[in-house]
Amino acid sequence: MSDFFAHETAVIDEGCQIGAGSKIWHFSHLMPGCILGEKCNIGQNVVISPKVVLGMNVKVQNNVSIYEGVTCDDDVFLGPSMVFTNVINPRSAVNRKNEYLKTHVGKGASIGANATIVCGHDIGQYAFIGAGAVVTKEVPDYALVVGNPARHMGWMSEFGQRLHFDDKGIAVCEESGEQYRLEDNKVSKI
């Protein structure tokens, strides 16, 4: 008996590592060599390619494709139908499997529905990528980015609340009461 749940229609290839308490739902495919941490939730019709690494408590919503070269830290949220790429200049007739670019998603980051993350651009911890955004460059910790191409629009707390900094560079999360400091265009929790 396994210590994770997999719906009967899920395809789990040999050589996957799946953490305790994880759930894999309808028609999802986990390919050889992928790693899922504990308590992950893999929605319907998800593809997780070889060598993908997901930390603990990663939530992957329906219709998400996670291609080789992607790693996600703990507590990452991947919204419905978002996608990662792994080749910067794909061509059907040109094999570029040895040119995959890596993308790392930091702890607690959220990526909205239908967003696209162009390969080779890391997402900082607790960053918030708006629905439909197309990320074409690095995203700093706690940053809020939206649009196509994605533009930096502000900062978010670890609870997903917009941060408003005073003239001393201090903001308080409305939900948690935690304080944050903005200094040299970088946010840190106090």
* pLDDT of amino acid 97: 84
The domain ranges of the chain are 5-156, 164-190
What pTM was estimated for this model as a whole? 0.95
Question: CA-to-CA distance for 161 and 125, rounded, in angstroms?
Answer: 14
Per residue in 135-154, pLDDT (tens digit) is: 999 999 999 999 999 999 99
* pLDDT of 1 over the 60 cut: no
How big is the chain by its Cα radius of gyration, in Å? 17
> For the residues 42-54, what does the mean pLDDT come to?
97
Burial code (b: 16+ CB inside 10 Å, e: under 16) for 9-35 equals ebebeeebebbeebbbbeebbbbebbb
| CATH class in words for 5-156 | mainly beta
